[in-house]
């Protein structure tokens, strides 16, 4: 952990503040005509994703932490835990569903993910922009029900429910956007 000055801020840096671990989303140095300069920042909580705005005095020192990004492969589920293998050291690690958050909706055996780690704690998960998943259950499209853009719910192999077009059937493989959770196309 190193101390940095507010003049060294860059987007993407991670800071350890009194109220938690935060990543800089945006910052702006402000020099008003009267009074001292300050730095206005938009920060994202690395643990829960909450976005806050905070102002620092110019020249204020804060703790900067390095987030270790490890490429991992999801192997299998063991009870509620997810078992990952580090691609460099081949070490296996059990991860609880709470640490993965929404990312658990897109993980199937053999899929890759980048786990963001601070010491031994997982603070974030980077997934590919889109993943391919199989549909396990959906209602059949009704003949003649061809309203433009009509959708129906479909349950994926991970348990996630997404809205898909009427022509998609159980057993089809589809691409899903991991950022928004929306159907993209058939694979």
Among 128, 136, 129, CA closest to 168: 136
CB-based burial label for 143 (10 Å; 0-12, 13-18, 19+): exposed
For position 43, what pLDDT does the model report?
A: 93
- Domains of the chain (ranges; CATH) run 2-65 (2.30.30.30), 68-126 (2.40.50.140), 130-186 (2.40.50.140)
CB atoms within 10 A of CB 45: 16
Per-residue pLDDT tens listing for the chain (187 residues): 688 888 889 888 899 988 888 999 999 998 888 888 999 999 988 877 789 999 999 888 999 998 888 899 999 988 889 999 999 998 999 988 888 888 888 888 888 999 988 888 888 888 888 889 999 998 886 666 566 667 888 999 988 899 988 888 888 999 999 888 888 888 8
For position 85, what pLDDT does the model report?
A: 93
């Amino acid at each position: 952990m190193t101390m940095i000055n507010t003049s060294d801020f860059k987007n993407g840096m991670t800071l350890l503040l009194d109220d938690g671990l935060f990543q800089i989303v945006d910052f702006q140095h402000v020099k008003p005509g009267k009074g001292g300069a300050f730095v206005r920042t938009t920060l994202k909580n690395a643990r829960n994703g909450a976005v806050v705005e905070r102002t620092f005095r110019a020249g204020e020192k804060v703790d900067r932490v390095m987030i270790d990004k490890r490429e991992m492969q999801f192997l299998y589920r063991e009870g509620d835990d997810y078992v990952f293998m580090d691609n460099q050291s081949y070490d296996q690690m059990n991860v609880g569903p709470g640490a993965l958050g929404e990312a658990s909706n897109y993980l199937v055996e053999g899929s890759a993910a980048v786990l963001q780690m601070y010491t031994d704690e997982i603070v974030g998960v980077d997934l590919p922009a889109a993943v391919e998943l199989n549909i396990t259950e959906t209602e059949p499209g009704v003949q003649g029900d061809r309203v433009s853009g009509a959708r129906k719910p479909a349950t994926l192999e991970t348990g996630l429910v997404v809205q898909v077009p009427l022509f998609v059937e159980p057993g089809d493989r589809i691409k899903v956007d991991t950022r928004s959770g929306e159907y993209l196309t058939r694979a």
